[in-house]
């Protein structure tokens, strides 16, 4: 009787694990869209921003803070690589590649636990993010004439 109960538990656990594996493999082949990628990049960037700004304001980053920064950098590197591969605009893809290099540099500083250089190199991330955002969001609008252009003059 005890063997049947044990066998039943094993079968239940095995079926749950099998279902999770099937679910995982079914979503594995699906590639995110550029928009989904950018949303996830924004989320990781926000977490990184909070951690670095808190460290800069308190003038203190703990070992745990540095580990978290390295983790956020790893995720951002993967996302920027993915975005660069999806982007058809070479200028934006190049910015994404530069952002990847800047994130890797920040990761190196966090690994070395160099708070000052980590905070300073964070500014470079901001500039690449702003440049990419400008190119993606507003560069297209610049090529289209404004409806009010020349009106009333």
Average pLDDT of 106-120? 85
Q: What is the dihedral of CA 113, 119, 122, 127, to 10 degrees?
A: -160
- CATH architecture of the domain 32-141 equals Up-down Bundle (1.20)
The pLDDT of residue 20 is 52
Question: Lowest-confidence range among 4-8, 99-103, 111-115, 134-138?
Answer: 4-8
pLDDT tens-digit readout, 65-102: 888 888 888 888 888 888 888 888 788 788 888 888 88
The pLDDT of residue 150 is 46
Q: Residue 16 is encoded by which pair of tokens?
A: 């749950």
Q: Residue 86 is encoded by which pair of tokens?
A: 């999806």
Domain segments of the chain as ranges: 1-30, 32-141
pLDDT tens-digit readout, 18-63: 555 554 444 455 677 888 888 898 898 888 888 888 888 887 888 8
The pLDDT of residue 4 is 61
Q: What is the dihedral of CA 81, 85, 86, 92, to 10 degrees?
A: 80
The pLDDT of residue 149 is 43
For tokens 């926000």, the residue is: 46
Instruction: Decide: 83 and 37 in contact? Cβ < 8 Å.
Output: yes
Across 59-78, b (16+ Cβ under 10 Å) vs e yields eebeeebbebbebbbebbbb
Tell me how far CA of residue 23 lies from CA of 11, 30, 138, in angstroms. 18, 12, 39
CA torsion sign for 106, 111, 114, 115 is positive
């Amino acid at each position: 009787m005890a063997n049947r109960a044990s066998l039943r538990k094993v079968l239940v656990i095995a079926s749950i694990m099998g279902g999770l594996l099937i679910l995982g493999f079914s979503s594995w082949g699906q590639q995110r869209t550029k928009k989904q990628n950018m949303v996830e990049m924004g989320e990781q960037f926000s977490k990184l921003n909070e951690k670095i700004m808190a460290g800069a304001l308190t003038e203190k980053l703990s070992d745990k803070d540095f580990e978290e920064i390295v983790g956020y950098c790893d995720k951002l590197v993967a996302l920027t690589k993915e975005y660069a591969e999806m982007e058809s605009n070479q200028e934006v893809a190049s910015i994404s590649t530069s952002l990847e290099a800047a994130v890797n540099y920040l990761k190196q500083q966090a690994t070395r636990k160099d708070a000052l250089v980590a905070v300073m190199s964070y500014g470079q991330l901001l500039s690449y993010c702003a440049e990419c955002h400008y190119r993606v969001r507003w560069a297209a609008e610049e090529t289209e004439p404004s409806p009010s252009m020349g009106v009333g003059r």
